[in-house]
């Protein structure tokens, strides 16, 4: 019962970090106008943030060496400093720094959290358990983004950051109180290099990371420009974009629910392959059914529910590829996501502006094909 309670609490707490991460996408044009820059400039900031995320593995193995709790709390401190910068002095420079620091905080907290539950939940049940924890990702769109929209509409683009800073302080206090300092489920590593060596000498581990890379690149192609696409196509404003983000959040919540119900039963590799195939279909359909606002929302719903199914089916496999270095493995997996998001962010606005949304969607299909090939390599090793 205690573990179930902790899963629920961590789901709520991680919603705060994920809201900060996700709110940039639907409000990319809104933030750009508030800062007096164009969308391309701000999309480059998002690209830099993704590239910065590749440095996460240099720090995240601290959860293998110093303990899961230490890694979680360190992540929250970094996150608080990042959002606090923007709260105190809102500008393009502090927003850029804040986005990067908040990402570092997330990349400390997430591997430590996933490793914490990976230490405690048997592999056969891990798909369901981690699906519950990952609901924070969809809750960020269902609850977090509409809340952010309310604050921005009333008080300006920088209004969310003081609230995020206060919530992160509360998050520190909660984790300090509910996570034990002494952890009998985890034997600390003496040397972080041992963890890196274990991962980089494992073909299945490297293939698993590349799945994250290509799938995230596919998602980011659509993720970065969907708000601009909806605004360009249908003239949607802040409140409408928040509502559309809620639709996406509900679809992702559905994806996480499907993982909880099916992944452990189907088998995680089979579920992952199914999710990738369905996401490719969704990508192909999106520009064609998205000629009306309702069609666009239906297409985005299908796209995000299948992508979330991919991501949450993928995560439970990763801790088991290198059990003695779970946090290191998971941090490198997150770095794979960062590389993929950086690649997608680098290409998305250019392809959208030069060739249109159809080619954005086709690029997502190509990246998903690469993910399927990586999954095949992982299973054959």
DSSP string over 135-177 = HHHHHIIIIIHHHHHHHHHHH-TTTHHHHHHHHHHHHHHHHHH
* Alpha carbon distance 239, 184 (integer Å): 48
* Alpha carbon distance 84, 80 (integer Å): 6
Q: What is the pLDDT of residue 98?
A: 93
Within 13 A of 259's CA, how many CA atoms are on the CB side? 35
Distances (CA, A) of 49 to 129, 188, 190: 29, 30, 31
User: Could you report how far apart the first and last alpha carbons of the chain are, in Å?
Assistant: 37
Q: What is the pLDDT of residue 372?
A: 95
Report long-range pairs for 5-12 (Cβ below 8 Å, ≥24 apart). Answer: 6/178, 6/179, 7/117, 7/129, 7/132, 7/133, 8/132, 9/174, 9/178, 10/113, 10/133, 10/136, 11/132, 11/133, 11/134, 11/135, 11/136, 11/139, 12/136, 12/139
Nearest to 214 by CA among 48, 364, 50, 51: 364
Query: Which tokens belong to 346?
Result: 């680098």
Distances (CA, A) of 156 to 27, 31, 152, 242, 244: 12, 9, 4, 15, 20
DSSP state of 188: -
* Rg of the chain on CA atoms, in Å: 19
Residues 95/86, Cβ–Cβ less than 8 Å:
yes
Q: Is 36 helix (H, G, I), strand (E, B) or coil?
A: coil
Residue-by-residue pLDDT tens, the chain, 381 positions: 477 788 888 888 889 999 998 888 778 878 888 888 888 888 888 878 877 767 766 765 676 667 778 888 999 999 999 999 999 999 999 999 999 999 889 888 888 887 788 777 777 776 677 777 778 877 887 888 889 989 998 899 999 999 999 999 999 999 999 888 766 655 655 556 767 777 888 898 999 999 999 999 999 888 778 767 777 776 655 555 555 666 767 777 777 777 777 777 788 888 899 999 999 999 999 888 877 878 878 888 888 888 888 887 888 788 778 777 777 787 788 788 878 988 988 898 889 888 888 899 999 999 999 999 999 999 886
Q: What is the pLDDT of residue 84?
A: 95
Q: What is the pLDDT of residue 86?
A: 94
DSSP state of 73: H
Q: What is the pLDDT of residue 2?
A: 78
Residue for token pair 């391309």 = 40
Alpha helices in the chain (DSSP H): 2-22, 28-35, 39-52, 62-65, 68-88, 92-120, 123-133, 135-139, 145-155, 160-178, 192-200, 203-234, 238-266, 268-289, 293-314, 318-321, 326-355, 357-380
Residues 79/102, Cβ–Cβ less than 8 Å:
yes
Residues 176/73, Cβ–Cβ less than 8 Å:
yes
Q: What is the pLDDT of residue 1?
A: 47
Domains in the chain with CATH codes: 2-179+190-380 (1.20.1250.20)
What pTM was computed for the model?
0.71
């Amino acid at each position: 019962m205690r573990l179930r309670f902790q899963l629920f609490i961590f789901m709520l707490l991680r919603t705060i970090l994920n809201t900060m991460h996700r709110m940039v996408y639907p409000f990319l044009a809104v933030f750009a106008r508030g800062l007096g820059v164009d969308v391309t400039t701000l999309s480059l900031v998002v690209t830099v943030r993704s590239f910065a995320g590749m440095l996460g593995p240099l720090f995240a193995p601290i959860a293998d060496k110093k303990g899961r709790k230490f890694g979680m709390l360190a992540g929250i401190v970094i996150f608080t400093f990042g959002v606090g910068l923007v709260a105190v002095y809102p500008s393009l420079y502090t927003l850029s720094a804040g986005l990067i620091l908040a990402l570092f905080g997330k990349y400390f907290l997430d591997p430590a959290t996933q490793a914490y539950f990976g230490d405690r939940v048997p592999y056969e049940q891990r798909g369901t358990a981690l699906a519950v924890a990952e609901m924070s990702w969809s809750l960020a769109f269902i609850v977090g983004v509409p809340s952010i929209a309310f604050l921005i509409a009333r008080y300006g683009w920088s209004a969310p950051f003081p609230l995020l800073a206060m919530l992160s302080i509360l998050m520190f206090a909660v984790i300090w109180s509910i996570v034990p300092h002494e952890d009998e489920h985890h034997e600390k590593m003496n040397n972080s290099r041992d963890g890196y060596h274990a991962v980089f000498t494992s073909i299945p581990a490297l293939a698993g990371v590349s799945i994250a890379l290509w799938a995230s690149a596919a998602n980011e192609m659509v993720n970065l420009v969907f708000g601009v696409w909806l605004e360009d196509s249908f003239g949607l404003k802040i409140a409408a974009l928040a509502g559309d983000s809620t639709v996406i959040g509900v679809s992702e919540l559905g994806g996480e629910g499907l993982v909880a119900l099916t992944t452990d039963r189907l088998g995680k590799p089979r579920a992952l392959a199914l999710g990738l195939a369905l996401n490719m279909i969704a990508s192909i359909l999106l520009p064609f059914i998205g000629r009306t606002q309702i069609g666009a929302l239906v297409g985005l719903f299908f796209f995000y529910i299948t992508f979330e199914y991919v991501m949450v089916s993928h995560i439970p496999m990763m801790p088991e590829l290198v059990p003695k270095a779970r946090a290191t493995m998971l941090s490198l997996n997150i770095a794979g996501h960062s590389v993929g998001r950086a690649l997608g962010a680098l290409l998305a606005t250019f392809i959208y502006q030069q060739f249109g949304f159809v080619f954005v969607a086709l690029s997502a299909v190509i990246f998903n094909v690469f993910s399927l090939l990586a999954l095949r390599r992982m299973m054959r090793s």
